[in-house]
Amino acid sequence: MNLTTSQKVFWLALGVAVLLFAGCPYGSEYPLGSPADAVADSALLGTWMTPQASDEDFTLTIRGSGAGEYLLLAESPDEKEPESFRAFVSTVDGEKFLNIRDEEWILVNYRVSGDLLQLRLVDDELFESRTFASPEDLRAFVRQNLADPRLYGGQKEGDWDWELERGGPGT
């Protein structure tokens, strides 16, 4: 997958060091569903930061932008301007996924527990050269493979790429 400068900055802000060890995010032609069927999740809203003890330093702000869509702003002290992306939430058998729109759709499984946001990227390892005819086909494939650790780059159940803490002004 060829990344643009904008994409590189975004993934750097979200912890590119983890990606180097965990694999590459799966870039899809389709999201996991239609934005018209987006699931609202007010628990996502707010400012999320890496813990003080973390080697990474970034802030992810998630704002509602209407009709079940979200605006994601990723900020890093090394960057002058935050990167922004549109996203919406889909669920697959109870698992929540952010469908992040860039040149391709990036799929991120997440959980919010109190003031903790856990994120893990859907990895390209399981997909190889598969193609899908529709969002429904992609969703069926993800559903079929939810328990396969390769969906997340070989991570075991309970492992997450990032754990962010709620914080900052207005949260």
Q: How many structural domains does the chain have?
A: 1
Q: Which stretch of DSSP H or E encloses residue 135?
A: helix 135-144
Is 158 among the domain residues? yes
Q: Torsions phi, psi of 161, nearest 5? A: -70, -40
SS3 35: helix
**pLDDT tens profile 20-50:** 344 689 999 999 999 999 999 999 999 999 9
Nearest to 101 by CA among 8, 31, 151: 31
Is 62 among the domain residues? yes
**pLDDT tens profile 92-116:** 999 999 999 989 999 999 999 999 9
* Over residues 78-84, mean pLDDT: 86
Q: How far apart are CA 75 and CA 72, in angstroms?
A: 10
Rounded to the nearest 10°, the torsion over CA 94, 101, 80, 50 is 10
pLDDT at 54 over 90: no
Is 171 among the domain residues? no
Is 34 among the domain residues? yes
**pLDDT tens profile 57-78:** 889 999 998 888 999 999 988 8
Boundaries of domain holding 81: 5-166
